[in-house]
Each structure stands twice: as C-alpha cells, then as structure tokens.
C-alpha cells in the first residue's frame, strides 16, 4: 500500500498551491464553512478500516499488530473493486467504550467507517454506539457484508428453482455476528421462517443462557417454535446456512427438504463439503474461491461504500442493504445455473450496480446529503 497525490507537485508554483501559502486559503474557507471539507479534502471519499484484532478471519484473537495484513488487504479491495480509498487502523484496545471514543475522535478525517474482525458480542455494541454518535456510514462488514451477499445468492437460488423467499425455511448454524445479521436481513427480505442455532442448539425464547443479542433475535425468528439440536432443526428445512465452523454429518444433510440449498461458508473447511452437499442439495455455495458460488464479502462492501459516499449518506440503512442484495443478484439473474447464483468478484458489473442501488436507496430514505 502507498499514498500518492492526485495532482503533480513539479515546481515552486505547484508547491505554493499544494502547501504554503495556498493551503491556508483552503483552511480558512473550511473554518468559515465546515461543509466545504467534503469538497476540498479527501475526507468524504475515504474509509477507515478499523479492527481490534480480536476475531481475524479463521485465526481468531491474534491482536492488532498481526491483524494489519488483513486490514491492508481490505483497503486494497476497496480501491481495486470500487475506487474507494481506505486507511487500515488497528487499535490496541478491547474496551468497548474506549474503541467507540477512539473511532469517534478519528471520524472527522473520514467519510465512513468499516469495522472489521471485532469479536461478538462486542462488535454489536460498538457498531450501535458509533452509529448513534456519528453522521457518517458505520458498517461492520463481518455482519452486513456477509448478510448482503448471502441474501443475493439465496434470491437467485430461489429464482432458479421457481420459488419465492416466503416459501423457504432456513436454518443458520452460527449465532455470532454473521449469523445474527443474516437472520435479520432474511427477515427483512420476507423469508418464510429462519431458525438460528448455536453450540447448544436452536436459539429460542425459553433458553436461559442467551445473551442480550441472542434474546432479541430469538424474539424475531423461529416462528415454527423449533427446539433441540442443529440436526433436529435441519429436518425438512429448505436452506442450510453455515457461518460457524465445525462439521455437519451427512445424515443431517440428508434430512433437508428435496431441492434444498446448502450455503456452507466456513473457511477454510466448509461445515459440509461441497461434494457431500451436492448429493442432497440443488444449489451449493461456500466461502471458498475454488468451488462454485463463492459467498465473498468483496461482492458487497466496495459498492455499498461507493454508493454511500457518492451521496454523502449519513448512515447505511436496512433499505440500502436490501437494495445492495437485490442489485447484486440482478447482475447474473439472466445467467443462472446451479453453479452460478452469484457473480464472480472480478465481474466488473458488480460494484457499479451495487453502488447505484445503494445511492438510490439512500436518496429514497432521506439519508443522502447530495
């Protein structure tokens, strides 16, 4: 990674514009009209990629220093796929309020904040508090990026097999950041029913071991009133979504409904190997690039931020996420096969389509400022 100027500094005249004395006029103008910072500096076009290093990829709690290569990679993807500049920031802190305070103090330098690889349940509270405090988009990609791409793939799988989302019962293995966000976006999209499962089985209201986040999601999901283990919940389900790791036995996969979809997204080892899943499912997706239908966050977050920054959105709403998923699904809606229900990350149509949909949704919802 590197930082470079977008205009040349070739001689004394250029220097006088780029720095002293010319820069003083820009500073004075912004001091008089603070909103000019969005036009005369890079703040409205750059995203902070922020982590505490507590939940990095499949590596877990490896700390801020070791997390930096992932944050740098994220920034490169922002630039590569959507032309969005981003700065990686790894914080040596685990206290929720201290992280919120630190990011809030950094916020005047950025147009948006992408939270990354922060462990649950702390990530939920950090995102919520920052959203309440800041007037720029705050987006925890491990939650919402995963959810947007999952919904897009599910829309196309349903379309391919002639079904609507309202006809589908979904079981999600994993009740962490991604699992909770997927459940919420599926409900917002009109899914028939969804049951969320953790290590102790179905997350339901009569359990006394639930966190506040799980208690909230229990009140929104599982209309069928399922109890018991993940395998019990899978019996007759139309969709399995895995965001937990671990291994699901083939005997449980065989209990899914005919024509089911299996999205086994754990990396590097899917909960259900695609070869096994294909024996029982009509559509199979994973989080890996060496199998068809990769559920990859890079399909979502560059375009989402590009659209939000384009209109100077004050926040990223649920409607903007749903619009992103619909636009992403539409990119390959006329090209569907069981091996292609989601575009490739290198499909050049993706980021522009997502950005346009997000910008339009922001305007429609009244959070756009230009």
List the binding residues for a divalent metal cation: 116-117, 142
Helix (H) or strand (E) holding 321: helix 318-331
Q: Which residues are annotated as a binding site for (S)-malate?
A: 267, 296
| 74 is a catalytic site residue | yes
**Annotated binding-site members:** 116-117, 142, 267, 296
Give the span between the Cα atoms of 105 and 31, in whole angstroms. Answer: 18
Q: What share of the chain is helix, strand, coil (3-state, %, to 5)?
A: 45, 15, 40
Report the chain's C-alpha Rg in angstroms. Answer: 22
Catalytic option among 25, 74, 184, 214: 74
Q: How far apart, in whole angstroms, are the C-alpha atoms of residue 23 and residue 70?
A: 35
Cα–Cα distance between 233 and 218 in angstroms, integer? 14
CA–CA distance, 283 with 156 (Å, rounded to integer): 10
CB 294 within 8 A of CB 319: no
Q: Report DSSP letters for 36-104, one per residue.
A: GHHHHSSGGGEEEEEE-SSSBTTTBS-HHHHHHHHHHHHHHHHHHHH--EEEEEE-S---HHHHHHHHH
Q: Is 19 a catalytic residue?
A: yes
Q: Determine the 3-state secondary structure of 224 from DSSP.
A: coil
Write down the number of H helices and E strands in the chain: 15, 10
Residues serving a catalytic function are 19, 74
């Amino acid at each position: 990674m590197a930082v470079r100027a977008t205009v040349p500094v070739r001689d004394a005249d250029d220097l006088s514009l780029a720095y002293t004395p010319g820069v003083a006029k820009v500073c004075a103008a912004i001091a008089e009209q603070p909103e000019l910072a969005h036009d005369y500096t890079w703040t409205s076009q750059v995203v902070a990629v922020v982590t505490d290093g507590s939940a990095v990829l499949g590596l877990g709690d490896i700390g801020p220093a070791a997390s930096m290569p992932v944050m740098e990679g994220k920034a490169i993807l922002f630039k590569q796929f959507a032309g969005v500049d981003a700065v990686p920031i790894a914080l040596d802190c685990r206290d929720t309020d201290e992280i919120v305070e630190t990011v809030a103090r950094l916020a005047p330098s950025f147009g948006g904040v992408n939270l990354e690889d922060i462990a649950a349940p702390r990530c939920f509270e950090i995102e919520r508090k920052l959203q309440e405090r800041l007037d720029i988009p705050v987006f925890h990609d491990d939650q919402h990026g995963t959810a947007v791409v999952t919904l897009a793939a599910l829309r196309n799988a349903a379309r391919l097999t002639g079904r609507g989302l309202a006809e589908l019962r979904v079981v999600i293995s994993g009740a962490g950041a991604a699992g909770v966000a997927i459940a919420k976006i599926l409900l917002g999209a009109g899914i028939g029913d969804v049951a969320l499962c953790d290590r102790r089985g179905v997350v339901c209201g009569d359990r006394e071991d639930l966190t506040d986040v799980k208690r909230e999601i229990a009140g929104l999901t599982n209309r069928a009133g399922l109890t018991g283990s993940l395998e019990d919940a899978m019996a007759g389900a139309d969709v399995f979504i895995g965001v937990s790791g671990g291994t699901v036995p083939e005997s449980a996969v065989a209990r899914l409904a005919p024509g089911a979809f299996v999205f086994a997204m754990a990396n590097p080892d899917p909960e259900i190997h695609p070869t096994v899943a294909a024996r029982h499912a009509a559509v199979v997706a994973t989080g890996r690039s060496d199998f068809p239908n990769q559920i990859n966050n890079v399909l979502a977050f560059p375009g989402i931020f590009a659209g939000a920054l384009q209109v100077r959105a004050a926040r990223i709403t649920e409607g903007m996420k749903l619009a992103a998923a619909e636009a992403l699904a539409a990119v390959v809606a006329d090209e569907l096969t069981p091996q292609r229900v989601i575009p490739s990350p290198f499909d050049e149509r993706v980021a522009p389509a997502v950005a346009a949909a997000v910008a339009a949704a922001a305007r429609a919802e009244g959070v756009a400022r230009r």
